[in-house]
Amino acid sequence: MAGQNTSLPIIGRMLGHKTAVATMIYSRLSLDPVRDAVERAVAAMLVAGGQTKLLTNGGGDDGQE
C-alpha cells in the first residue's frame, strides 16, 4: 500500500495499529532502497553501453595485461 502512495496513518488504521511508530516500524519496503536504485541505474547504463553484465576488477577483462 505504501508503494502506491497510501499514507502511513491510513495504513496504520487499516492494520489496527495504535501508534504511528508501530506503522513506521513495518513501513520499510526494501532492505536497501538506495542499493536498489543504484542497481537499476547501473543496469540501464550497461544496456546503453551495450554490455550484458558488470565487469569487476577481480576477474573480468579490464583491458590491462
Q: What is the mean pLDDT of the chain?
A: 76
- Give per-residue pLDDT as tens, 4-25: 667 888 888 988 999 988 888 7
Burial 28-52 (b: 16+ CB within 10 A, else e): eeeeeeeeeeeeeeeeeeeeeeeee
Are 7 and 13 spatial neighbours (Cβ–Cβ below 8 Å)? no
Are 4 and 14 spatial neighbours (Cβ–Cβ below 8 Å)? no
pLDDT of 18 reads: 92
DSSP-assigned letter for residue 4: G
